[in-house]
Amino acid sequence: MAASQASLLLQKQLKDLCKNPVDGFSAGLVDETNIFEWSVTIIGPPDTLYEGGFFNAIMSFPSNYPNSPPSVKFTSEIWHPNVYPDGRVCISILHPPGEDPNGYELASERWTPVHTVESIVLSIISMLSSPNDESPANVEAAKEWRDRRDDFKKKVSRCVRKSQEML
C-alpha cells in the first residue's frame, strides 16, 4: 500500500504539473518507467545573483513518500551556502522530524507530508534568494557570502554563465 500510495501521488503531481506548469521551474521524469526519480530545471530567480541561470537537479523520492522527504541534488554546478559541494541540497523542509544534523533547525520547519514537488522546488528557489548561513552545507561559500561578498558574486556569476552554456 505504501509504495502504491507514493506512486499514485507522484503520478498525480506529474500530471498536474504537465497540465498547469508553474513559473520558475520545469519538472519531469528522468526515466518514464521510474516515477521516483525526477529531473527539475530551476530558473535563477529574478533580482538575485542567480538570475539568468538554468540549474538542473535530481529529486529522488523514497518509496514511503510522503511520510519521508525526497533528496534533492543539483547536477549543475552551483555555489550556495546551503548546497553541499557534491550538489546535495540542505534545507530544513527536506529533513525528517527528529533528525537534526546541524543542531540549528527548528522542529517546526522540518518535513511534513503535505509537501509536493512544487512546494519543495519553490522552497529551493526561495533558498537561492535567501541563503541561511547559520547551518551551512558549504562552509566556504557561507564564509564568502558573509565576509567576501564580491568573491561570492564572482563565483555565482561563473556558475550562471556555465549553466547557460550547457543549454
Partner 1 sequence: MAEWRRGILEKRHQIAMALRVAYGGVMAASHGGHGGIAGWADSSQPYPSFSSSAARPAAVSSATNDGVSVGNAHDNRRRRSLARRQQTSRRRTRETDERRTRETGERRMTHATVTRDRRMTHDDGSVLAHYMLGLALLQRQESAKGIKELEKALDLGRGANPKGYMVEEIWQELAKAKYLEWERSSSKRSWELQSLKEACESALKEKHFLDYSQMEGFVDDATTSHSEQLEALERVFNTAAEADIPTEVPDYLCCRITLDIFHDPVITPSGLTYERAVILEHLQKVGKFDPITREPLDPSQLVPNLAIKEAVEAFLDKHGWAYKID
Q: What are the residues binding partner 1 (CB under 8 A)?
A: 1-2, 5, 8-9, 11-13, 15-16, 64, 66-68, 96-98, 108, 111-114, 116
Q: How far is the CB of 21 from partner 1 (least distance, A)?
A: 16
At its nearest, how many Å lie between partner 1 and the CB of residue 131?
24
Grid coordinates given for 52: 539568468
| Nearest approach, Cβ of residue 13 and partner 1 (Å) | 7
Measured from the CB atom, the residue of 16 and 77 that comes closer to partner 1 is 16
**What per-residue string of b and e applies to 40-53 under the rule 16 or more CB within 10 Å gives b?**
bbbbbbeeebbeeb
Q: Considering 27, 90, 120, 137, which one is annotated as catalytic? A: 90
Whether 18 is a known active-site residue: answer: no
Residue 75 in contact with residue 68, Cβ under 8 Å? Answer: no
Beta-sheet strand order (sheet of 54-60):
25-31, 34-43, 54-60, 71-74
The minimum distance between CB 10 and partner 1, in angstroms, equals 10
H-helix or E-strand spanning residue 42: strand 34-43
Residue 150: phi, psi to the nearest 5? -60, -45
Q: Is 126 helix (H, G, I), strand (E, B) or coil?
A: helix
59/46 Cα distance (integer angstroms): 23
Residues identified as active-site: 90
